[in-house]
Chains A and B, each alone.
Chain A
Amino acid sequence: MTLIRRILLRLLTMAITLFGVAVIVFFVIRVVPGNPIAMMLPPGAGEEDIARLKALYGLDKTIPEQFVIWLSGVLQGDFGTSITTRQPVLALVLSRLPATLELSVVALVIAVAIGGTLALTGTRMRGTRSEGAIDVANGMALSVPDFLWGLVLILLFGVLWPVFHISGRVSPSLDLPFVTNFYLFESVLRLRFDIWADLVAHMFMPALALAIPLAAIIAQLLKQSLKETMHLDYVTLSRTKGYGENHVITREALPNAVLPTLTLIGVQFTFLIGGTVIIERLFSYEGLGNMAIDAVINRDLPLIQGIVILFALIFSVVNLVVDLTYAALNPRLRHG
């Protein structure tokens, strides 16, 4: 009962947040210099042509009027038409969304796997040189941003030892039998492991570039809270029962130490999704982020709006999921 009420409350605040985002993005992209009409017309077009095009796209009205028209469309599921491609924004955005979601989730999985392993190893080896090595590696991983990791990876696995593809999402020569755009997911369902391998070979480097800084943050925080937890009385008591180090770390300390890390992963995951914009561009990966950059360059106002709203929606959903997971894992919050 309380859980349902809490979810409903969160959905309400989510709606308000999205409205706020819509207002801000709508006005800001209309106030900044550069306009889409100028991009579409050949040099030397007359005033009449400009006025006709403006009327066609509704840009002759005042900005608040435009906003009301756009918002009433959105509420009916119509996000407008892209100025550059002349296709419905919603269809365009949804066709690219799966690529970005797959990339982000794979990056998150890699980050949790690497970060978790490093944290557990570091805790097991605490006080030794191995722990020091892990700390140094963490520091290095953290001090370089994801897009620079992208360049480093391209140099390593694209140029010096070319084992992975450096651009695109899938080899153009492949015939794709898919009905959805979740290629990676669907290739597994259809047992098409040839396509799956090709997708992974494309996705590996951008995903790893996104994952490295997050993995370092996870490793650092989780190791820190594990080490603090290892001194607590219930961990000591567990040792007196006859349990060894591995059991004590994974069964007694980890379930409690993981809670702060979980919140952090939630926050950092939204940053990671933000990072896809540049990483997708760097690896010519056909996702939402790459589309966003094109949209901004072309001043494709409806498309920019659609993409920003979608990103905001993803962020809110991620936050909601994190909160719910946190409550599920922490018994002290469950009955609250």
Chain B
Amino acid sequence: MSFLTIENLNAEVGPAPILRDVSLSVAAGEVRGLVGESGAGKSMIGKAVLGTLPSAIEISSGRIVLEGEDLQAMRPRDRRRVIGAKAALIPQDPLTALNPSRRVGPQITDRLVDILGWTRHDAQTRALELLDEVQIPEPERVMRAYPHELSGGMRQRILIASAFAAEPKLIIADEPTTALDVTVQKQILKLIKQMQARHGTALLFVTHDLGVVSKICQSLTVLYGGKVLEDTRIGDFFARPAHPYSAALLAATPKYTDPAASLTPVPEAVIDGVRAEIEAFDRMHGHV
């Protein structure tokens, strides 16, 4: 049974569509990649689920169902609480995602205490456990530190610990390694995978990097222009991509085995094909 289901989600900025009939689901414990170029709307899907869409963007139709609860049908206050308890975000940039004027500890424990009603002591114990789990040395000291006293890699580990704190059933990771040093990227990716496996959390992994997808995802959704082009198992995708755009994307990924090979861009003809598909969709839905 899928833990997160998005059905025919449409969102617009004014008259311009941002998401076009997006449907996807993440099963309990599944790792699903969400890939696309910048502007494809992949982060917007994560934001729509977590209720953090910019106010200019409006969801016009469709459903977001989190463990059987229709988020769109709820009052904002209830929706926030359900999301806070069941889902969590691993943000993109660890340098800006921790509040500079608050100590690290309370930024991990605040959700447990304020939203889920834990005692301070229990939340503290839990945070220390998690910091230990994400391999942070001297967790007590780190809890009392301010974000600026810690490195980017450390901060991303803290954000991962914080995301897992309430044992959410779904975690949305929004390009969690893009802002990091290449050497740190690998460790963080491995850590996310480890944590996900240990906690059995469903993971929606937003990225533009197919290399990363091949390492940690079981299934994959390919987006372009806010429209789902392909929704497939990871093995099938790399063996025989169904959509021409997917095939072109795969061909465009640099091969580490043959660095001398020149980079292949996605051919113009393929892009034109995808654009025609989107235009046809918009005509059908009266956006043109």
Contacts and interface: CB of A to CB of B under 8 A. Distances in A.
Contact of B99 (A234, A239, A329): A234
Interface stretch (B8-16, B89-97, B135-143, B193-201): B89-97
Interface in B107-144: 107, 110-111, 114-115
A239 B93 contact: no
Contact of B89 (A127, A240, A252): A240
A234 B148 CA distance: 14
A239 B101 contact: no
B100 A242 contact: no
Contacts of A240: 50-52, 83-84, 87-89
Contacts of A242: 80-81, 83-85, 111, 114-115
A331 B148 CA distance: 9
A234 B93 CA distance: 10
Nearest to A258: B101
Interface string B147-165: 0100000000001000000
B254 to A, nearest CB: 29
B257 interface: no
A319 interface: no
Contacts of A232: 96
A255 B84 contact: no
Contacts of A256: 99-101
Interface in A222-248: 232-234, 236-244, 247
A188 to B, nearest CB: 33
A234 B110 contact: no
A86 interface: no
B146 interface: yes
A332 interface: yes
A234 B52 contact: no
Interface of B, helix, strand, loop or mixed by DSSP: mixed
Contact of A252 (B50, B51, B87, B99): B99
A244 B115 contact: no
Given A233-B93, A255-B102, A241 B52 contact: no
A330 interface: yes
Interface residues of B, number: 31
A329 B102 CA distance: 10
Interface of A, helix, strand, loop or mixed by DSSP: helix
Nearest to A329: B101
B98 interface: yes
A112 B88 CA distance: 37
B55 interface: yes
Nearest to B95: A233
Nearest to B115: A242
A244 B80 CA distance: 7
Nearest to B55: A127
B240 interface: no
Contacts of A127: 55
A93 B86 CA distance: 66
Interface string B44-65: 0000001110010000000000
Contacts of A247: 114
B77 interface: yes
B88 to A, nearest CB: 7
B96 to A, nearest CB: 4
Contacts of A332: 100, 146, 148
Interface in A120-174: 127
Contacts of B99: 234, 238, 252, 255-256
A243 B91 CA distance: 17
B141 to A, nearest CB: 15
A237 B172 CA distance: 12
A284 to B, nearest CB: 45
Nearest to A254: B101
A233 B155 CA distance: 13
A89 to B, nearest CB: 45
Nearest to A259: B101
A237 B91 contact: yes
B101 A236 contact: no
B160 to A, nearest CB: 12
Given A236-B52, A332-B146, A332-B148, A241 B115 contact: yes
A239 B96 contact: no
Given A242-B115, A332-B146, A234 B96 contact: yes
A234 B80 contact: no
B101 to A, nearest CB: 4
Given A243-B84, A331-B146, 9 more contacts: A237-B89, A237-B159, A239-B50, A240-B52, A255-B99, A256-B99, A330-B101, A331-B101, A332-B100
21 contacts: A233-B96, A233-B97, A234-B97, A234-B99, A238-B99, A239-B80, A240-B52, A240-B83, A240-B84, A240-B88, A241-B111, A242-B81, A243-B80, A243-B84, A244-B80, A252-B99, A252-B102, A256-B100, A330-B101, A331-B146, A332-B100
Interface of B: 50-52, 55, 77, 80-81, 83-85, 87-89, 91-93, 96-102, 107, 110-111, 114-115, 146, 148, 159
